[in-house]
Amino acid sequence: MVNLLRHRGPDEGAWWADGPFFLGHRRLSIVALESGGQPMASQDGRWVVTYNGEIYNYPELRAQLEQHGCHFVTDSDTEVLLHGYQVWGTDLPERLLGMFAFALADRRSRELFLARDRFGEKPLFLLRNQNYLAFASELRPLTLLPDLTRRLNTKALGSYLTRNYVAGSMTMLEAVNRLEPAHWALISSEGEKLHRYWLPVSVQPPQDLEPALDEFRSLFDTAVHRSLRSDVPVGVLLSGGIDSSLVAEAACRQGRLSRAYLLDFGEASYSEKPYAEKVCARLGLELRSVRLTSAALGQFLPIVDHGDDPLGDSSMLAYRTLAELAASHDRVVLGGDGGDEIFGGYLTYQASRLHYRWICRLPQMVRTWLAQIADYLPTSESKLSISYKLWRFLRAAGLDTAQAHLTWNGSWTPQRAAALVRPELAKEVATALAGVSFQGSLRELQDLDVGNYLPNDILAKGDRMSMTWGLEARSPFLDYPLAQWGLGLPESLKIDRRGRLKVLLRAEARRLFGPLIANRGKQGFSIPIHSWLRTDEARPIRQFLEPDSIERLKVFDEAAVTQVVRRHLSGEASYGFELWGLAVLSAWHYLRVEKGPEIPQEWPLVQRVFDYKPE
């Protein structure tokens, strides 16, 4: 099980066991290269920890703990967790700035403490049964457990089909759950205590642009400075968009970036290379790029495998390709994830406001009619074409605004998803988005994205695809003092009266890079999936959409799926994103439910021995 995570930690592996505890670890050495091995024990051996991630404020916490009388024997952030839990107990996660998932065993009380970071940058999967609790950074190792019943979770199906991911604490594997972001759990023989330790609190940033920019620069520089803490060189994933360009500028000014990495396309409407070159010329930063072509579709099965719990976002292919390039030179990269959610950068925010102000005022019969005719509109498949955006907008006309908002970054609408499944599942799928609401404020939409789309799509994609290559991706925009401040900004500093997005960040980009970068529209990280799925290179993907593959899942109406596949391949419709998601689910079922993981090679693991004599 430990070695199934070797890609996440290629440097060394170790395990420790005592009584009811077994902790295993695969290490990617970033901080304290010589002394940070895990599992790590406290000096008296009472507490033992295994941990995934980075605690950016560990020097400050170390200084505080030394004032409490703690004595450190390593330079690692891992040791801060051991002393921190000894001093602060379950209040420890609230003091941490960074991305983390960790498990800490108390050998005296026979308790296990689990915690996950505020935004869900690092994953933590849990399997509970009558005999034990098992946990891991990925779903895959848990499927090696001999008593695990591998069964698709039909209760999660509607969420996946409409959003591209499974929301909340469920996974697509019925027996396994997630510890949600900003939560900790304390497990003992007496049971389990689950607690949410953080919610964004209301703050009052300046209401005017110039003073807000001054505060932003201070908070952002601090966030980037923390993210640069590393004992190995740090690079940056650069698109030439506003977010990653601001990260690159702050990092170059405060430290030394090794180089920038760009994903390029042959299709002109998808290429962002001229913008990235402009930024690198301004910063004196070396740029390396890799071109993505349809030949990369041959990596479909490894992408699904490393995607773990199924994730139907086709841009995983793009991220994986870029991460492979970056990992060939660096172990750590910074990126712009979180900027859109925190500072109002998504086109869906514009769409949701239009939907709420205009579509929701129409009679339901008219809204239903608009949704029905949407499929008959001709669409261009170039990136972010107006006709394609109009189709996505109109097909959600019959939904409440909050539901429409979730599907715009997802795939099928609930009704169309329900038409794809077997009759006994249709009602549950059709109501998968029930319960979400919207009363007209941008902050509501941001909270929806921060609680759903960000952890379960954006951050899951970044974590899985970067760690495929043993690459650590960091997101300065999610430094929580900055993020909390940004969420509290007035709407006028996020979207202006003309509907222009990311007002504050755009103003900062204009000061640093001029109008070429500041005036760019939102591009996103999408790929030409509509046309690529019709190519010969996509045959290995299309085989997972064939009737016999779909039938094995035992949840779909094979004829309905065959019909949408036919419409797309014939050019009648543009269902590229939707069919990618279906193919991912079908391939995931093959890998996780039918086949199960292969037992890895016997990579050497060091057994840790920690002495402890209970008082």
Inform me whether the pLDDT recorded for 354 exceeds 90: yes
Q: What is the pLDDT of residue 613?
A: 85
Inform me whether the pLDDT recorded for 370 exceeds 90: yes
Query: With bands split at pLDDT 50, 70 and 90, how would you rate the model's confidence at 38?
Result: very high
| Helix, strand or coil, per DSSP, at residue 156 | helix
**Is 244 within a domain?**
yes
Query: With bands split at pLDDT 50, 70 and 90, how would you rate the model's confidence at 30?
Result: confident
For residues 454-481, average pLDDT = 97
Inform me whether the pLDDT recorded for 454 exceeds 80: yes
Q: What is the pLDDT of residue 358?
A: 94
Q: Are residues 190 and 269 in the same domain?
A: no
Q: What is the pLDDT of residue 598?
A: 83
Q: Are residues 290 and 335 in the same domain?
A: yes
**Is 279 within a domain?**
yes
Determine how many CB atoms are found less than 10 A away from the CB of residue 614: 9
CB hemisphere CA count around 408 (13 angstroms):
29
Q: What is the pLDDT of residue 597?
A: 84
Domain boundary pick from 475, 492, 518: 518
**Is 334 within a domain?**
yes
Query: Whose CA is closest to 172, among 589, 504, 455, 476?
Result: 589
Q: Are residues 290 and 310 in the same domain?
A: yes
For the stretch 61-81, pLDDT in tens is 999 999 999 999 999 999 999
CATH number for position 312? 3.40.50.620
Question: pTM, whole model, 2 decimals?
Answer: 0.96
For the stretch 248-281, pLDDT in tens is 999 999 988 889 999 998 877 778 899 999 999 9
Q: Are residues 185 and 213 in the same domain?
A: no
Q: Are residues 184 and 302 in the same domain?
A: no
472 bridge partner residues: 332
What residue numbers bound the domain in which 150 lies? 3-199
**Is 328 within a domain?**
yes
CB hemisphere CA count around 468 (13 angstroms):
25
Looking at per-residue pLDDT, the higher value among 283 and 499 belongs to 283
For the stretch 576-613, pLDDT in tens is 999 999 999 999 999 999 998 888 888 889 999 999 98
Q: What is the pLDDT of residue 615?
A: 72
Q: Are residues 193 and 219 in the same domain?
A: no
Inform me whether the pLDDT recorded for 499 exceeds 90: no
Q: What is the pLDDT of residue 378?
A: 84
Q: What is the pLDDT of residue 171?
A: 98
CATH number for position 128? 3.60.20.10
CB burial of residue 370 (10 Å; 0-12, 13-18, 19+): middle
Inform me whether the pLDDT recorded for 380 exceeds 90: no
Q: Are residues 158 and 278 in the same domain?
A: no
Q: Are residues 190 and 243 in the same domain?
A: no
Question: What is 284-328 written as a DSSP string?
Answer: T--EEEEEE-GGGGGGHHHHHHHH-S----TTHHHHHHHHHHHHT
Q: What is the pLDDT of residue 506?
A: 97
The two tokens of residue 152 are 């698709």
Q: What is the pLDDT of residue 111?
A: 97
Cα–Cα distance for residue pair 532/538, rounded to 1 Å: 7
Name the domain count of the chain: 2
Distances (CA, A) of 153 to 42, 174, 329: 40, 4, 40
Distances (CA, A) of 459 to 62, 181, 205, 331, 504: 28, 11, 26, 18, 23
For residues 299-328, average pLDDT = 96
Distances (CA, A) of 74 to 6, 55, 87, 217, 374: 24, 15, 18, 33, 61
Inform me whether the pLDDT recorded for 292 exceeds 90: yes
| Helix, strand or coil, per DSSP, at residue 200 | coil
**Is 562 within a domain?**
no
Average pLDDT score over the chain: 94
Q: What is the pLDDT of residue 103?
A: 98
Q: Are residues 144 and 39 in the same domain?
A: yes
Inform me whether the pLDDT recorded for 202 exceeds 80: no
Query: With bands split at pLDDT 50, 70 and 90, how would you rate the model's confidence at 436?
Result: very high
Q: Are residues 232 and 114 in the same domain?
A: no
For the stretch 83-118, pLDDT in tens is 999 999 999 999 999 999 999 999 999 999 999 999
Q: What is the pLDDT of residue 29?
A: 87
Inform me whether the pLDDT recorded for 9 exceeds 90: yes
Inform me whether the pLDDT recorded for 384 exceeds 80: no
Q: Are residues 183 and 245 in the same domain?
A: no
